[in-house]
């Protein structure tokens, strides 16, 4: 019976992945940005994180993940199934990045590898407002710390599901920064409308 249930889960998961295989989201940079500051989007292989830059001494990575899968490393098939198809706890994470404001220099500081990055411009006022909301959430509780991921995290009030995962939250953040996002981000396929916003990442190029 257990093998039959496992096969059923595999079939359901495969069907959903095939159904969503064409899902992607395109990010559009506004033509005019008042008091612009750079915002980086890091592609970590189906998982995306956002980097906000208040100034050169305050560079902060923001991310969301399923609590047990992302933070505790429980990545077996059964755990993955529940993480996608049941309401499960989510972790809201942040970490301070040091050194040059350059994604090539962030690779060794982030526990989950960076495949590539994108850079956009957003109004400083909106960047400060988003960072303020995140910092307030962390100030209201005692955060936990993940050594493998090198980030502190809190339990997010909104549960994690396939229909609302880490990539949906990143899109919400981007839209709050006045960037337009078109398409479905479920599978984490995010791309810029203008390829000039793409950044190749290689830690050997860190100055």
Q: Domain tally for the chain?
A: 1
Q: What is the pLDDT of residue 58?
A: 86
Give the domain range for residue 119: 2-205
Contacts of 29 (CB under 8 A, 6+ apart): 120, 121, 179, 192, 193, 194, 197
Among 25-29, 85-89, 157-161, whose mean pLDDT is lowest? 85-89
Q: How far apart are CA 207 and CA 193, in angstroms?
A: 28
Q: What is the pLDDT of residues 97-126, one digit of tens each?
A: 999 999 999 999 997 789 999 999 999 999
Q: What is the pTM of this model?
A: 0.83
Strand (E) or helix (H) holding 79: helix 77-85
> Using CA of residue 39, residue 43, residue 46, residue 51, what is the dihedral sign?
negative
- Closest by Cα among 31, 194, 207 to 106: 207
Q: Is the pLDDT of residue 1 over 90?
A: no
Strand (E) or helix (H) holding 77: helix 77-85
């Amino acid at each position: 019976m257990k093998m039959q249930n496992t096969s059923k889960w595999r079939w359901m998961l495969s069907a959903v992945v095939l159904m969503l295989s064409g899902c992607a989201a395109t990010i559009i940079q506004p033509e005019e940005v008042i008091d612009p500051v750079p915002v980086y989007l890091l592609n970590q292989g189906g998982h995306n994180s956002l980097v906000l830059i208040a100034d050169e001494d305050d560079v902060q990575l923001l991310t969301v993940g399923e609590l047990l899968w992302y933070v505790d490393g429980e990545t077996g098939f059964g755990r993955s199934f529940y993480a996608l198809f049941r309401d499960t706890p989510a972790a809201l994470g942040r970490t301070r990045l040091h050194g040059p404001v350059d994604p090539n220099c962030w690779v060794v500081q982030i526990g989950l590898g960076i495949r590539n990055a994108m850079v956009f411009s957003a109004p400083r006022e909106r960047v400060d407002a988003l960072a303020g909301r995140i910092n307030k959430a962390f100030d209201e509780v005692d955060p936990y710390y993940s050594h493998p991921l090198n980030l502190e995290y809190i339990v997010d009030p909104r549960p994690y599901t396939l229909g609302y995962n880490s990539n949906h939250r990143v899109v919400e953040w981007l839209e709050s920064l006045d960037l337009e996002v078109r398409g479905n981000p479920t599978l984490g396929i995010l791309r810029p409308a203008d390829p000039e916003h793409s950044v190749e990442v290689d830690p050997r190029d860190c100055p």
